[in-house]
Chain A
């Protein structure tokens, strides 16, 4: 079945460092791909999405490119801030609102 695999955290970085959180997927068709973020004590919220191969989603300085050849959707940010500390979830769907999520990756940014 379809699934999403994320790198195990926590990812620990100093402020202004470059961030990569890996996400790969297994899919029988051509899904849309998402990154959701969960800040401490809050619910998940959509960060960015991409609906087809080679699309790049971006928001708040974060980017992810839909790579069909490597079945990946890695999240990147050029310079992280302490306020980016959160849990990041990769997910996929097929034109429905039923999302398949990964395990989440915790990011800790220190000043």
Chain B
């Protein structure tokens, strides 16, 4: 496998469920990101990890909990979500050299009922 892989591609959950999104990158990059993509809104940066340390948390509600166990894997743990959290969640990675070139996965489409 190459690139950035996200699973699952689609997820439907109730407001009381606990689920996780997974991201894996095979590019040898040092930085990983979670973005939220909602209709008619700018792409929203949620979390940034550099060398497995969280370096950015953009005022994201605590019902979203990221985890980066190593430089190749990134998780987004979800619990007690709200319907307005329904969106496409994109994972990305970068070499961490400030070039602005991010490599994105295909996204996980989340629907909260």
Contacts and interface: CB of A to CB of B under 8 A. Distances in A.
A3 to B, nearest CB: 8
A43 B4 contact: yes
Contact of A97 (B31, B43, B105): B31
A44 B102 contact: yes
A77 interface: no
Interface of A: 3-4, 8, 32, 34, 36, 41-46, 49, 89, 91, 93, 95-104
Contact of B100 (A41, A45, A93, A104): A93
B102 to A, nearest CB: 6
Interface in B1-55: 4, 31, 33, 35, 40-43, 45, 48
Contacts of B100: 32, 34, 46, 49, 91, 93, 96-97, 99
B107 interface: yes
Contacts of A99: 43, 45, 100, 102
A3 B42 CA distance: 9
B98 interface: yes
B31 to A, nearest CB: 6
Nearest to A92: B100
Given A43-B107, A45-B104, 10 more contacts: A42-B106, A44-B90, A49-B101, A97-B96, A98-B56, A99-B45, A99-B102, A103-B40, A103-B41, A103-B42
Contacts of A34: 100
Contacts of B48: 98
Nearest to B94: A97
A4 B35 CA distance: 16
B59 interface: no
Interface string B82-113: 00000000101010111111111111000000
Given A44-B90, A49-B100, A96-B98, A101 B106 contact: no
A41 B6 CA distance: 12
B96 A102 contact: no
